[in-house]
Amino acid sequence: MSRTEIVHLIDRADLIADCLAQDNRPPDPLPGHLLISLFFENSTRTRASFQIAGQHLGFNVVDMSLATSSTGKGETLLDTAMTLNAMRPDVLVVRHAMSGVPHLLSHKVNCAVINAGDGNHEHPTQALTDALTIRRRKGTLEGLTVAICGDIMHSRVARSNMRLLTIMGSTVRVVAPATLMPAGIEAFGVQPFESMAEGLDGADVVMMLRLQLERMQGSLVPSTREYFRFFGLDSDKLRAAKDDAVIMHPGPINRGTELDSVLADDIGRSLILEQVAHGVAVRIAVLEALVQNAAAGGPG
């Protein structure tokens, strides 16, 4: 996406967020469209926020729980997609544990496909949500220093945020032990750090990532308590950041593993619940753009 497209979406989502805050309704409903959400992986907030966004717009929303459907009977991914495509949805929202799946499906179906998170690749609507949340608090994205901390290697949220925030003119740092830092990260235009003290120094935004507990099995980190000691965020480590630095987390939080509960619940500094609320506004903006684009005959 270009900077112009991002700004357009965030501006629109900003307006929608205000409308939702006022009377819990979006400005321009678009009834009569069919949204199928296809989640091959568990999700609470992303899945719910797409459903709520669709319902706010007056879409028919069908939520496919793939744990209990045909894929459990040996149907292939592409067959499932083709089957749903035959039901003529306008939008397919796809979440999958493997990178590239929305890309693969988008070549097989003739509706719009939204990536709701694929493997370690991208989670674009989360990055738009985070950008909106930062901008509403800080007034701008340009010139801010954002430190993204934790399991960068396995984080699609980190990848999407790195791309979006660097396009928008933020200075992005990534902080992780070497075992959780992917190769060639500098090519994203970000600065890597292996210490929280250095990575957080003077930061405006501290974005913590979830550490998936199965990472311990591969010995990427020795234990949760050791991880929290060196890479978890507590008020002590936060002192390196600016006094008005805010804390973000895409959720779900492992309290005491990557983030101290006291900080997570500090309404003055934690934007975590705002991220959730803005998630609905951003997804409404994205659905609007795709449906209007399709109506205009543009690419899905």
Partner 1 sequence: MAGKRFRAPPRRTAYTGGRLVDPASGLDAQGGLLTEGKQIIDVGPGLFTDGAPEDAIHVDCTGLVLAPGLIDTRAHLREPGAEHKETLFTASRSAAVGGITSMLCTPDTDPVIDGVAEVEFISRRARETSLVKVFAMAAITVGSRGEALTEMGLLAENGVPAFTDANRAVENAGLMFRALKYARSLDLLLVQHPEHPALAGNGTMNAGVLATRLGLPSRPPIAEMILIERDLRLAEAAGSRIHFPLLSTRGAVEAVAAAKARGVAVTAGTAPHYFALTESEVEGWRTFAKVSPPLRSEADRSAVAQAVVNGVIDVIASDHSPHHEDSKRLPFEQADFGMAALEAVLPLALEFVHSGQLSLIELLRRVTWNPASIFGVPGGRLAPGEPADLVLLDLDHAWVLDAKEFRSKSQNAPYTAHPVRGRAVRTVVDGRPVFGEGP
Q: Which residues bind partner 1 (CB under 8 A)?
A: 76-78, 96, 98-101, 103-104, 118-122, 156, 159, 182-185, 187-188
Q: Tell the burial category of 279 from Cβ atoms under 10 Å away from its Cβ (0-12, 13-18, 19+).
A: buried
| Spatial distance between the Cα atoms of 64 and 72, rounded to a whole number of angstroms | 13
Cβ(57)–Cβ(19) below 8 Å: no
Smallest distance, partner 1 to C-beta of residue 185, A: 6
- Closest distance between partner 1 and the C-beta of residue 172, in Å? 14
Specify the residue, 159 or 237, whose C-beta has the smaller distance to partner 1. Answer: 159
The residue among 41, 115, 47, 93 whose CA lies nearest residue 280 is 47
CB of 122 to partner 1, least distance (A): 7
* Least distance in angstroms from the C-beta of 90 to partner 1: 24
Residue 118 beta carbon to partner 1: minimum distance, rounded to whole angstroms: 7
CB 66, min distance to partner 1, A? 14
Strands 112-118 and 145-149: unpaired
Intra-chain end-to-end CA distance of the chain, in Å = 14
Residue 10 in contact with residue 139, Cβ under 8 Å?
no
Cα gap 209→217, rounded to integer Å: 18
Three-class SS of residue 134? helix
* Of 92, 100, 24, 35, residue with least CA distance to 61: 35
* Closer residue to partner 1 in complex, CB, 11/186: 186
The torsion angles phi and psi of 125, rounded to 5 degrees, stand at -70, -25
Q: Which two tokens stand for residue 2?
A: 């270009």
